[in-house]
Structure 1
């Protein structure tokens, strides 16, 4: 039997049962413990670790609740493996959304935390308007590891997902305020700002951030009040700006006085040694530059939590808070307390470390697989995040291609949705791939090939197929 090393830290805030369950969960997920392996008996493990049998029994119950193991009468606890739905059992691929692979995310563990938090009747009441203090402090502590220093008492607001944060930001300025947005851009951001009455100015973003003309607009004093951007894994391309590009934008905003709205929806999944600094982490080097950072747990943990954090200067947070109170009087106390526990007990960090290799493997598999689609379909690399932009060669009808993909069970998003003029990108499509496994990547690429055959014109077929 493979022995799993369990580091017991009696000084840690994380309960001993959780430390034990997490150690075994990690060993199952990374393959050290294979399906069918019988775990040590409660008595044997409690003796080896020097903890109470009651603690070990509770840890095993928690492990079984995740679906990674099962307890059988007179047979002990056996590993059942990571639950993954085979591609053949899927009804289709909804790749028109950016979402994580929830089969590998700790749904059951979070459900357990929610159940534990619910033992306190106060968790069923109203939350603090600006967000539960425990959650704000836990987020601030995590962000300090990224070089971002945020005062949880005055500079952080909890919102119902990143979309509410963008909606509040759209309303914080007077109607008619000029807000710049990157082009191409996440459509939900454009809707939030335009819906609040802002005058939108699209700024072209290329392979490495805003181009020279866009930087001139940002640097012109008073030209725009704010600039919405996604420097890490932009939507729809998945690209990330270099540090030099981030500094160019900060310098331009410093000169022009525009707020920078940094959409950091996926940055936590970057490995610590490879992650580029957030704009919020670099702001101190550019006196006068102002950054509003929107960070969410929807893509990195669970979309169902609908929890995000907005950090900015206290005066702006106070204005956003007033708008949020008018909207919903605060987010769920129950979910906030559960997320706070997950963060403070180290569960979130362990989760990120556990799932990162799998997402890297999917991106590499995708990069290799789509190469065979050229020249009919080309993709802008390097691949990052959970989405990528595909471009169809001349002679392939985009509408027919997308329709054929839908008929085959693959839902994609028209590329033109991401450009302000609604015309640029009409030969493109965005594909979300975060919820795919490597095996499913191969299936999807095969379906795209079939769709191309049906969408290509006879004149172009000879050169493309």
Structure 2
């Protein structure tokens, strides 16, 4: 059956004819009439069937191509995209979704907070920081509070360069940009590199703060499935051929939310693909310092010999989150764009905090702090994995991340994750549903369980409560608590 002749175009409508045609074709794709990789009619044929100008068809196809719904092959024609429609975000800035907005939760002493990935205040190195802070005040006096150049305090950038040598990253201070936390770094990169309608790739699932930043620039986001050792590189290359993104955003170690880490093999493949398709990679070094294995973590940037990687790291995340301090390592060709975006964002990061952290790094107090909190978090990590094995092995599976602050748990059977989280909230247990980490709000039949804000006793107690609620959900008739 020729469905195309059924398309009705109305010249009296305000909507342009090419857009009416594009919307009609899009509806055919949504309804499964036009399937992935199916060839669309030639421009001349469709124009003849609908009795319209060839230019209208050209513009309709271009309209769909700009949305990533179809793709053109030189000398061959126009085809329906093989990428599932739900994996493409609209370039239009989206309204906040009510299901994934953080609820206003009243915390009590009985609350077991498996959602937070920020350290509790008892983990803050207040005494050491106070000593360094006072030393900077005595040394620099009023200069400590002057405006700093937008790129950052030169001595701090020098100290960061020395620090990075320990991880195999060679970065001179002229390639380092100080930022007010990793989230600002993502925002600045979005402002500097993205224009409305540009395409970029992210892992599926991924950090929701990054999704929000990219969407705020009107970007089209393509999700690439994430495996336990990194992005699915075969799918990644297929998408690279079709969508020509500006960059790929990844977290190679203890990825948020999955905790997965990239294998050396996949890191090399992704670097080769970045060179082949002339794109950049944003490497968000989320929590690589929290390593509970005996194997060293090698950042993607350390393997980057062709200047394809933009490296982001936050110090404040596991030091004291309120400090808002981090840095970028930027290829020289992009530095002016980044510097301009930083200047228009907040001129510069606090001069005082930069000077204090410079001294904190030079005195190796950062190294001391990491050693202390790694010992504490490793014990919590072991308690959580043991509790999951003891109480939830019949219902859930997980891949031990060997680092970071959370574990990504998948249900063996389909279950309403939102119902589970709501029921546990009524029992003073807070979880993060998988739907928070996808454009399409796919639940992945998963939850993220973090141990940043809970002690070992709370961890075991909380996991037992999760087990109780799951068993109640399974035993209650579907008409009361649906299993999806």
Pairwise same-fold verdict (TM > 0.5) = yes
**Secondary structure at the residue paired with 1:129?**
coil
- How far apart, CA to CA, are the structure 2 residues paired with 1:395 and 1:406? 20
Q: Based on CA coordinates, which of the two structures has the bigger radius of gyration?
A: 2
- How far apart, CA to CA, are the structure 1 residues paired with 2:438 and 2:284? 17
Q: CA deviation at 1:394?
A: 3.5
- How far apart, CA to CA, are the structure 1 residues paired with 2:354 and 2:297? 28
The change in CA–CA distance for 1:401 and 1:100 in structure 2 (over 3 A counts) is same
What is aligned with 2:248? 227
Q: Is the 8 A contact 1:163 1:188 kept in 2?
A: yes
What is aligned with 1:108? 127
Q: Does 1:267 align with 2:288?
A: yes
Q: Is the 8 A contact 1:253 1:289 kept in 2?
A: no
What is aligned with 1:322? 340
Question: 1:36-69 deviations in whole A, cap 9, x for unaligned?
Answer: xxxxxxxxxxxxxxxxxxxxxxxxxxxxxxxxxx
The change in CA–CA distance for 1:172 and 1:437 in structure 2 (over 3 A counts) is same
**Secondary structure at the residue paired with 2:318?**
coil
Q: CA deviation at 1:352?
A: 1.6
2:329 maps to which of 311, 326, 335: 311
Per the normalisation by structure 2, the TM-score is 0.71
Q: Is the 8 A contact 2:395 2:413 kept in 1?
A: no
Q: Is the 8 A contact 1:269 1:300 kept in 2?
A: no
What is aligned with 1:341? 359
Q: Does 1:183 align with 2:204?
A: yes
Q: Does 1:439 align with 2:457?
A: yes
Q: CA deviation at 1:289?
A: 5.1
Q: Does 1:278 align with 2:299?
A: yes
Structure 2 unaligned segments of length 5 or more: list them.
1-107
The change in CA–CA distance for 1:271 and 1:340 in structure 2 (over 3 A counts) is farther
Give matches, 1:420-439, under 5 Å.
Answer: 420-425=439-444, 427-439=445-457
Q: CA deviation at 1:123?
A: 1.1
**Secondary structure at the residue paired with 2:396?**
strand
- How far apart, CA to CA, are the structure 2 residues paired with 1:97 and 1:316? 34
**Secondary structure at the residue paired with 2:335?**
helix
Q: Does 1:168 align with 2:172?
A: no
Alpha-carbon RMSD across the aligned residues, in angstroms, is 2.5
The change in CA–CA distance for 1:387 and 1:273 in structure 2 (over 3 A counts) is closer
What is aligned with 1:295? 313
1:141 maps to which of 137, 156, 162: 162
What is aligned with 1:248? 269
- How far apart, CA to CA, are the structure 1 residues paired with 2:210 and 2:311? 14
What is aligned with 2:176? 156
What is aligned with 2:11? none
Q: Is the 8 A contact 2:228 2:399 kept in 1?
A: no
Q: CA deviation at 1:317?
A: 2.2
- How far apart, CA to CA, are the structure 2 residues paired with 1:141 and 1:170? 28
Question: 1:122-176 deviations in whole A, cap 9, x for unaligned?
Answer: 1122222111112111111100111101111x21111111001101111212222
Deviates most, 440-449 or 184-193: 440-449
- How far apart, CA to CA, are the structure 1 residues paired with 2:335 and 2:449? 34
Pairs aligned (count): 370
Q: CA deviation at 1:432?
A: 1.6
Give matches, 1:383-422, under 5 Å.
Answer: 383=401, 384-394=403-413, 396-422=415-441
